[in-house]
Amino acid sequence: MVKSRPYVILSAAISIDGKIATKSGDSKLSSKIDKKRVHQLRSKVDAILIGKNTLFRDDPMLTVRYVKGKNPIRIVLDSLGLLPSKSNIMRTASKIPTIIATSKKISKKNFNRLKNHNVDIISCGKDQVNIKQLLQILIKRNIKKLLVEGGGTVNWQFIKQNLFDEIIVTITPFLIGGKNSITFVQGDGFLNISKSAKLHLARITRQNNEIVLFYKK
């Protein structure tokens, strides 16, 4: 059977109360041991995807550094093509394959600016990136395994549209609280529990003061 989309893993480090960042956007929850585990996972996927806000807040590299292994393709959802030229991902795009997924609303000027950074641009969706269409394009490009590293707004879209297969969360020993902090899954949320997929707890590992939960569909 021809696959219509990559295998999708949603991954995050969360506080005990389910937050991924404070209201100021501070998300430094991960321990060294967890970073190593995540980098190991990165080295085994074809691509990593994040949302625009995560890039603006964290300016990540999305590479494999804590273990030996290949860098996956980096994908950023950025509807209007606003990513700063000085960001780590844009600066290194000529060396590490990078896809910026935009909507059709991107201006010619922003499109050309991105192109000058040697990124691959995929435009799909009217106002925002259409994730379903994007996944169909990615599988045709032989991206079979995709790691989604947030943030919460992006996670919600994958969950709402039922476009994921696995969830890996590390519960870190912190409490954040606050209605304006960022949770693992943002968006409007489901009205009834019955709307949620009922996941299967496939594995648990303990790493010092944290536990990692591996849930599958």
Ligand X SMILES: NC(=O)c1ccc[n+]([C@@H]2O[C@H](COP(=O)([O-])OP(=O)(O)OC[C@H]3O[C@@H](n4cnc5c(N)ncnc54)[C@H](OP(=O)(O)O)[C@@H]3O)[C@@H](O)[C@H]2O)c1
Considering only the stretches 66-74, 143-151, 192-200, 203-211, report the one whose residues sit in contact with ligand X under the rule CB under 6 A. Answer: 143-151
Rounded to whole angstroms, the Cα distance separating 17 from 214 reads 18
Judged by CB under 6 A, the residue of 34, 46, 78, 210 near ligand X is 78
**Residue nearer to ligand X on the CB measure, 1 or 167:** 167
Cβ atoms within 10 Å of 137's Cβ, excluding its own: 15
Give me the sheet containing 98-102, strands edge to edge: 120-123, 98-102, 73-77, 47-51, 145-148, 7-14, 166-171, 210-216, 200-207
Q: What are phi and psi of 161, to 5 degrees?
A: -90, 5
13 binds ligand X (CB under 6 A): yes
Residue 52 touches ligand X, criterion: CB under 6 A:
yes
Among 8, 10, 29, 75, indicate the residue that binds ligand X (CB under 6 A). 29
Write out the binding residues for ligand X, residues 149-188 only, by CB under 6 A: 149-154, 157, 182, 186
Interface pick for ligand X out of 9, 10, 12, 114 (rule CB under 6 A): 12
# chain residues binding ligand X, by CB under 6 A = 30
Looking at beta carbons only, is 168 or 194 nearer to ligand X?
Answer: 168
Structure tokens at 97: 């394959």
Would you say 104 and 129 are in contact if contact means Cβ atoms under 8 Å apart? no
**Is residue 58 close enough to count as binding ligand X by CB under 6 A?**
yes
Q: How far is the CB of 32 from ligand X (least distance, A)?
A: 15
Which of 83, 131, 163, 212 binds ligand X (CB under 6 A)? It is: 131
Q: Count the neighbouring beta carbons within 10 Å of the beta carbon of residue 171.
A: 18
The three-state secondary structure class of 207 is strand
Give the strand pairing for 210-216 and 200-207: antiparallel
Cα 90 versus chain centre, distance: 17
Report if residue 34 touches ligand X, rule: CB under 6 A.
Answer: no
210 binds ligand X (CB under 6 A): no
CA distance 141 to 144: 9
- In the complex, which residues of this chain contact ligand X (CB under 6 A)? 12-13, 20-21, 25, 27, 29, 50-54, 57-58, 77-80, 128-129, 131, 149-154, 157, 182, 186
